[in-house]
Amino acid sequence: MFRRILASFLFAVCLAGSLSAVEHEVGQKEKKFTVENLKVKVGDVVSFPNYDSFFHNIYSLSSEKIFDLGSYSQGQTKKVKFDKAGKILVECAIHPGMKMTIDVQP
């Protein structure tokens, strides 16, 4: 009985957590990110749609969130969930001038 209550409580907590998570968009347009500095909360998701007619390869080497989305073409979107607080520098492996920061707040 207790286990069942605990299980449904944990389920409710997970559900509430996923409902409060927000999705943000950082596009790639004309070799630039559409947002230079983005503030998000832990648990939020950022989508990275490519609006250019050429490839981008979005990545981060910041220790709080290391990722590499690989190269992808126009119309494709990749998503990253930020699960740890910190300042993340996001770059493009194909275009060294492309940089933006994501401030993940607790």
Q: Which residues bind Cu ion (CB under 5 A)?
A: 56, 92, 94-95, 98
- Rounded Cα distance between 2 and 21, Å, is 29
Relative to beta strand 37-41, strand 32-33 is unpaired
Question: Terminal CA-to-CA distance of the chain, rounded, Å?
Answer: 34
- CB 72, min distance to Cu ion, A: 10
Quick one: 42 or 72, whose CB is closer to Cu ion? Answer: 72
Give least dist CB 38 to Cu ion, A: 17
The nearer residue to Cu ion, 57 or 62, going by C-beta atoms, is 57
Q: Single out the residue of 65, 58, 66 nearest to residue 84, CA to CA.
A: 65
- Tell me how far, at minimum, the Cβ of 78 lies from Cu ion, in Å: 13
Cβ-closest residue to Cu ion? 92
| 73 close to 9: Cβ distance less than 8 angstroms | no
Nearer to Cu ion, 4 or 30 (CB): 30
d(CA 64, CA 84): 6
- Looking at the Cβ atoms of 8 and 76, the one nearer to Cu ion is 76
Cβ 103 to Cu ion shortest distance, Å:
21
